[in-house]
Amino acid sequence: MSDNVEKYIKRETKESISNKISEKFVDAGLEKIRACINCGTCTGGCPSGRRTAYRTRVAIRKALTGDESVLRDIDIWLCSTCYYCYERCPRNIPVTDMIIKLRNIAVEEGFILDAHFGLADKIFYETGHGVPANGEGNKKWRDLRESYDLPPLPPTVHSYPEAVEECKTLMKEVGFRDLMDNAKELKEERAKEQEKEEEKADE
């Protein structure tokens, strides 16, 4: 290559690529990510990207190159799983499934958002519902149900509260409880590390 070309074309060579993401993608049958041509069709049609800084193509690119910063990126939580990108990708890549997988890996690595963690760890685990309709503060949901001639509480653990413990047992059996406990531990470790760094910076 001539010196002139070297002057204008910058090449970035990755010495080592993290295989944490790619291994999990392969395990989940999502190795099709390797067919991505970085065309940006997914970004172009993404309704979430129209209103935020979220760029689907960038998330896919980072996953493909093993850039683990994508797991810390709040952007992957902005996908509304509308499947628009999935339908339009010229390489038939299941883009939405890949974003969901990235979120799963992020949770395993303790990068779950505080709001999601609170909902999963406390509300869902304790009540068996993501959006509970029972309790003092949730009368509006019961009223809404009744306005459609439905019983105020659905035929779930709300109607059979004794089944909440069974739901918790199920959540433990499938590893959900461990996942949340692990995420909590990792989040706390990171918060402590950050605190130490801030203290150092103030010295």
Binding site for ligand SF4 (CB under 6 A): 36-42, 45-48, 56-57, 60, 79-85, 89-91, 93, 95-96, 99
- Amino acid occupying residue 77: W
Shorter beta-carbon distance to ligand SF4: residue 86 or 125: 86
**Closest distance of CB 69 from ligand SF4, Å:** 18
Shorter beta-carbon distance to ligand SF4: residue 25 or 153: 25
Interior angle at CA 53, CA 52 and CA 56, nearest 5: 100
**Closest distance of CB 9 from ligand SF4, Å:** 22
Shorter beta-carbon distance to ligand SF4: residue 83 or 160: 83
**Closest distance of CB 66 from ligand SF4, Å:** 16
**Closest distance of CB 186 from ligand SF4, Å:** 25
Shorter beta-carbon distance to ligand SF4: residue 34 or 196: 34
